[in-house]
């Protein structure tokens, strides 16, 4: 199936492709099949840390969505598991959205704590907020670097902190009070 994709399908549609969702073992073959002039994003699955470190040098725009953990992805996770491994990174923008049905409000990170974690990001403002939805028994955490670069913003809730999101073209709203 991968042969057919790379030999017949991709060369026919390569100019129309804007986004790829790829597994790491087929990534190289697919990306080297043909030029993709309109490609602006790639999601990678099942990628080893060493492979990711080799790929992400210089500039990285990261969009990470994590559901089902007992804790949120927070600044410590980002620093320990990503930033500390990428010493050649000179520009880093990110959007991290995580949700948990196991939340405990006592363990939620404060804005002050998040700003302290990101104090070395002198050229970026870090936005962090948590939405708790008691009826859904769920909490959602969003951390992103500002200015926001993605073209979508999903799951906006009533406590949205504001800001101008110049690149956003698609928005979805979640409000359990409706």
Predicted confidence (pLDDT) per residue in 30-78, tens digit: 988 988 888 877 887 777 766 766 666 667 777 777 777 777 777 777 7
pLDDT of residue 13: 94
Count of other CB atoms within 10 angstroms of residue 12: 9
- Tell me what the mean pLDDT of segment 19-31 comes to: 86
Contacts of 133 (CB under 8 A, 6+ apart): 139, 140, 174, 176
Identify the CA nearest to 64 among candidates 91, 27, 93.
93
pTM for this entry:
0.60
d(CA 63, CA 175): 23
Question: pLDDT by residue (tens digit) across 146-156?
Answer: 888 778 877 77
What are the structural domain ranges in the chain?
Answer: 1-47, 48-173
Identify the CA nearest to 21 among candidates 8, 10, 33, 30.
30
SS (H, E, C) the chain: CHHHHHHHHHHHHHHHCCEEEEEHHHHHHHHHHCCCCCCCEEEEECCCHHHHHHHCCEEEEEEEEEECCCCCCCHHHHHHHCHHHCCCEEEEEEEEEEEECCCCHHHCCCHHHHHHHCCCCCCCEEEEEEEEECCCCEEEEEEEEECCCCCEEEEECCCCCCCCCCCCCEEEECCCCC
pLDDT > 80? residue 12: yes
- What does the alpha-carbon distance between residue 45 and residue 25 come to, in Å, rounded to a whole number? 9
Label residue 111 by pLDDT band (50, 70, 90).
Answer: low
């Amino acid at each position: 199936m991968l042969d057919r994709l790379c030999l017949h399908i991709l060369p026919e549609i390569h100019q129309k492709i804007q986004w790829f969702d790829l597994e790491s073992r087929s990534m190289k073959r697919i990306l080297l099949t043909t030029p993709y002039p309109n490609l602006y994003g790639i999601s990678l699955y099942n990628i080893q840390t060493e492979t990711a470190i080799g790929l992400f040098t210089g500039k990285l725009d990261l969009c990470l969505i994590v559901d089902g953990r007992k804790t949120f992805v927070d600044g410590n996770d980002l620093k320990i598991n990503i930033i500390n491994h990428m010493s050649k990174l000179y520009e880093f923008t990110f959007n991290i959205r995580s949700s948990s049905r196991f939340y405990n409000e006592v363990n939620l990170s404060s804005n002050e704590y998040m700003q302290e974690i990101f104090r070395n990001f002198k050229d970026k403002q870090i936005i962090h907020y948590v939405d708790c939805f008691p009826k859904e028994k769920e909490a959602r955490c969003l951390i992103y670097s500002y200015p926001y670069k993605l073209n979508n913003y999903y799951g906006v809730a009533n406590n949205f902190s504001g800001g101008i999101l110049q690149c956003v073209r698609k928005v979805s709203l979640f409000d359990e009070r409706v």
